[in-house]
Chains A and B, each alone.
Chain A
């Protein structure tokens, strides 16, 4: 079972360029999430989706957009990358109830120069 996959594994991007980070889950989970993880800080929620067709803003949504056209896929787009978006990005999914654990993808390491 694949679980949750992300692509690419890592990327170096020039400032001002756009990029889409891909996330796919095969667990039929309702909820999906995008986090960024920076050294010395906790995971910070960028955007989330409680079910296909709906999305919401997390703690740090500026500069990012998402879509949830179906249950399995939850891409994250950076329209015009800036160096402060250099981070490790994790996608996660869960059944969506309060006590449900979140399953994480392997992460994408993004460097914006």
Chain B
């Protein structure tokens, strides 16, 4: 079966750095997405990785290792507005997105 695993909840302090991990087992791989979802709102796109390595975009970076079926999202200089759920999703061999349940990130002052 297809499976995306990420921690259910994480807590971090304003101004700090946090790493949210995602491991996947899917039928084929055609890229991995990270989305941010604030409570009661729609998911919004953060990043896309299809090759191994680190993609940096401002305070957010995303890493992919295809051989390990592993990705992480790194958030630096945390702000209160970063409190949200972070969703990992993998494009499978049928080019459909398989979604993880999301990691709820709580930022404390």
**Which residues on A are within 8 Å of B, measured CB to CB?**
40-45, 48, 58, 90, 98-99, 101-107
Q: Which residues of A contact B7 (CB under 8 A)?
A: none
Q: Residue A90 contacts which of B30, B42, B102 (CB distance < 8 angstroms)?
A: B42
10 A-B pairs with least C-beta separation: A42-B99, A104-B42, A101-B45, A43-B99, A98-B30, A42-B101, A42-B100, A104-B43, A99-B31, A99-B48
Within 8 A of A (CB), among B43-97: 43-45, 48, 50, 87, 89, 91, 95-97
Contact flags B1-15 to A (C-beta < 8 A → 1, else 0): 000100000000000
Separation of A46 and B42 alpha carbons in the complex (Å): 17
- Assess whether B33 is in contact with A101, with CB atoms less than 8 Å apart: yes
Contact A106 B96 (CB under 8 A): no
Known A42-B89, A98-B31, A103-B45; further 9 A-B contacts with Cβ < 8 A: A48-B96, A58-B96, A98-B30, A99-B31, A99-B48, A101-B48, A104-B44, A106-B42, A107-B42
**Which residue of the partner chain, among B43, B50, B87, contacts A99 with CB atoms under 8 Å?**
B50
* SS class, residues of chain A in contact with chain B: loop
Cα(A105)–Cα(B39), bound, Å: 14
Among A40, A44, A58, A98, which residue has the most Cβ atoms of chain B within 10 A?
A: A98
Give Cα A111–Cα B30 distance, bound, in whole angstroms. 35
Known: A101-B48, A104-B43. A42 touches B87 (CB 8 A): yes
In the complex, the answer to whether A102 meets B99 with C-beta atoms within 8 Å is no
Q: Is the CB of A42 within 8 A of B102?
A: yes
Q: In the assembled complex, which residues on chain B have CB atoms less than 8 Å from the CB atom of A99?
A: 31, 48, 50, 91
Residues of B within 8 A of A102 (CB): 45, 97
> Which of B4, B30, B31, B45 is within 8 Å of A42, CB to CB?
B4
Instruction: Tell me whether B97 and A45 are in contact (CB under 8 A).
Output: yes
Chain A residue nearest to B40 (CB atoms) is A107
Interchain CA distance A90-B31 in the complex, whole Å: 22
What residues of chain B lie closer than 8 Å to A98, measured between beta carbons?
Answer: 30-31, 50, 91, 95
Instruction: Choose among A45, A101, A103 the residue with the greatest number of B CB atoms under 10 Å from its CB.
Output: A101
